[in-house]
Amino acid sequence: MRGDRFDVLVVGSGPAGSVAALVLARGGARVALVDKTAFPRDKACGDLVGPRGVRHLADLHIDVAGTQRVDDMVVIGPTWRRVRLPCWEGDTYPGYGFALPRARFDAALHEAAVAAGAQPFTARVGQPLFDDNGELDGFELSDGPAVRADAVIGADGATSRVADAAGLVDPARVLWGFALRAYVEDPVRVPHIVFWERERWRGFPGYGWLFPGVGGRANIGLGLGVLAERSAGSEAARCFDDFVADMRRSGVLVSGDDSIAPRLGGWLKMGMVGTLAARGRVLLCGDAAGLVNPLQGEGISEAVGSGRAAAEALLSDPAKPAHAYLAFLAATYGPFHSVTAPVHAAILPRPRAVAALGRALTAPGVSRAVAGGWSIFWNDLLVGARPRPARSQAALALKVGRALTFRSRGG
């Protein structure tokens, strides 16, 4: 830091921002880590970290205590038929993930970043500041002096202030999603995804879930994609009680009505659509960059991976980090997102197609034949998967997806 100037300003201290700050601080950079809320703080999320996220944390020697290990997943179709998706170990990831409330998970990562040397600020970013060349140079803070830095990382979520200030997002093209969750006392041990129908043959434009928690406190939620129409996000709140009631009637949820805690909602930005993840010395990570799986909404693994990559790009080339960072995103996440984002956009507005797909995938005979490949493809675990018929299925699904979405990708 030169005077009151930092090497890097990281805005947002969720998984992406905290990991970026941690890696930068370990590399000798002077880092300002700004978040609008003091930690620990809650966050709307399913609270699951997938196998790739577990591997990233292990590679970075980040030990998160008190987690609940999870592996296989159960998918429930519109007719309430259950299919078990296996979680196999790969060459580059373990055969399991874990559950931990975001209040605890994010606090652990934030503490690790601060322990490594990042300087924390609890404040909202306000007026953006620009240098003589017109590049984003920092922000005024809501309760203190301005913070300036040679580079800025935006890890401040789907509605990123950094992305807006740097002119890196086109809201009309973004694939928005909204998720609403609550905690409930329930003994569920295996993550459940529910392809729910609001009425027969009209699929909900997303899915519901019931995920294990720590100490018997499960996470129940409903998430939907709304494309560019953010006003449609309120559908999750309107449908939540009906979804919970159906979960009880089906026997998936066994808790009593009085055990559901207050709900919390949040926005998602999926598929790397409508956002340029880097320009000059401004880099976006996690939700801010649209790094959320368009098929199942998981974003923590990509948040941790992108935060690490952004930090490494800055450490290796502080003056021109964007090229290396964009190349990493294109090579690592581009092949999957470039196929699944158009599929998401095409099927979401068609409730009958959503219902038909959910019924087909969970139909007797079909589900058993495709469960392994479905698990690998849906969870973006093809790269690093070990040779088996399921990997071949997932590779074929990606190949077919590329062919079907060729024109929408500008081919």
Burial of 118 (0-12, 13-18, 19+ CB in 10 A): buried
How far from 8 is each of 111, 147, 192, 238, 281, CA to CA, in Å?
A: 18, 10, 40, 42, 9
| Residue range 82-109: mean pLDDT, rounded | 97
Q: What is the mean pLDDT of the chain?
A: 95
Strand locations in 205-325 (E) = 206-211, 217-227, 264-270, 278-279, 282-284
Pairing mode, if any, of strands 175-185 and 217-227?
antiparallel
List the CATH number of the domain containing 100. Answer: 3.50.50.60
In this prediction, residue 249 carries a pLDDT of 94
| Residue range 232-238: mean pLDDT, rounded | 95
Helix-helix angle 389-404:334-347, to 10 degrees: 60
| Residue 260 banded pLDDT, cuts 50, 70, 90 | confident
The answer to whether 75 and 378 are in contact (CB under 8 A) is: no
Q: Is residue 111 part of a domain?
A: yes
pLDDT over threshold 70, residue 410: no
pLDDT digits (tens, 9 = 90+) for 117-156: 999 999 999 999 999 999 999 999 998 789 999 999 999 9
CA-wise closest residue to 189 among 221, 220, 216: 216
pLDDT digits (tens, 9 = 90+) for 317-350: 999 999 999 999 999 999 999 999 999 999 999 9
Strand locations in 57-143 (E) = 68-70, 73-76, 82-85, 97-99, 119-122, 125-130, 136-141
Q: Is residue 406 part of a domain?
A: no
Residue with tokens 């620009």, as numbered in its chain = 130
Total domain count for the chain? Answer: 1
Burial of 356 (0-12, 13-18, 19+ CB in 10 A): middle
The answer to whether 296 and 211 are in contact (CB under 8 A) is: no
Q: Is residue 104 part of a domain?
A: yes
Cα separation, 124 vs 370, whole angstroms:
47
3-state secondary structure of 277: coil
> Which helix or strand (DSSP H or E) is residue 55 part of?
helix 51-59
3-state secondary structure of 84: strand
Cα separation, 142 vs 121, whole angstroms:
10
Q: Which domain holds residue 149?
A: 5-69+96-171+270-337
pLDDT digits (tens, 9 = 90+) for 346-388: 999 999 999 999 999 999 999 999 999 999 999 999 999 999 9
In this prediction, residue 3 carries a pLDDT of 43
Q: Is residue 236 part of a domain?
A: no
pLDDT over threshold 60, residue 2: no
Q: Is residue 280 part of a domain?
A: yes
In this prediction, residue 409 carries a pLDDT of 60
Residue with tokens 């005024």, as numbered in its chain = 140
pLDDT digits (tens, 9 = 90+) for 212-234: 999 889 999 999 999 999 999 99
In this prediction, residue 4 carries a pLDDT of 73
Helix-helix angle 51-59:300-316, to 10 degrees: 40
